[in-house]
Amino acid sequence: MIGKEEFLAIRKAIEDLIYEASKGAIIVVEGRRDAESLRNLGIRGKILLSSVLSDAELVDSLMGEKVVIMTDWDRRGEIAAVSLMKKLNCNADVEIRRRIFSVACKEVTKVEELYSFLQKYSRIY
C-alpha cells in the first residue's frame, strides 16, 4: 500500500503526462491495453503502439516530434525504452515513466494497470 504523498506524486506525474499530450507530445506504449489505460486516465493526445508498427514506421512517425515513452516497468519495457531512444537518436522523455513507476512499482509494473491502480487509491485518498 502506498501513502498519500506517494499517491499525490503519481497523480502529479499523470497530470504532467496529460499536459504533455495536450501540447502535442506523442506517447509511445507497448500495446493496446496500455493505450486504453492512458485514455481512461484522460490522455487525449496521440498514442502510438510500438507493438503494431515496424521499427521504420515508428521512427518515421516520431522523428522531429516530442516523444514521451511509457513502456512497462519491467525488463522488457526497459529494453523497449532504451531501444526506442537509440533508434530515434533523441532524448525522449522517460522521466514521467520513472516518476510513476519508481513509486508505484510495489503494486503496479504495467501501464495497463495504471487506471485501476489510480481508481483504487482515489477512493482511499
Q: Which domains does the chain have, with CATH numbers?
A: 4-115 (3.40.1360.10)
Give pLDDT, residue 53.
87
- All three cell numbers of 92: 525522449
The whole model's pTM is what?
Answer: 0.93
Summarised one tens digit per residue, pLDDT across range 42-66 is 999 999 999 898 888 888 888 889 9
Give pLDDT, residue 70.
98
Helix, strand or coil for residue 45? Answer: coil
Distance in angstroms (rounded) separating the CA atoms of residues 30 and 33: 9
Distance in angstroms (rounded) separating the CA atoms of residues 103 and 11: 11
Distance in angstroms (rounded) separating the CA atoms of residues 111 and 39: 11
Give pLDDT, residue 39.
98
Distance in angstroms (rounded) separating the CA atoms of residues 53 and 50: 6
Give pLDDT, residue 75.
95
Give pLDDT, residue 40.
98
Distance in angstroms (rounded) separating the CA atoms of residues 67 and 88: 10
Please identify every stretch of the chain with a pLDDT value under 70, giving residue numbers as ranges: none
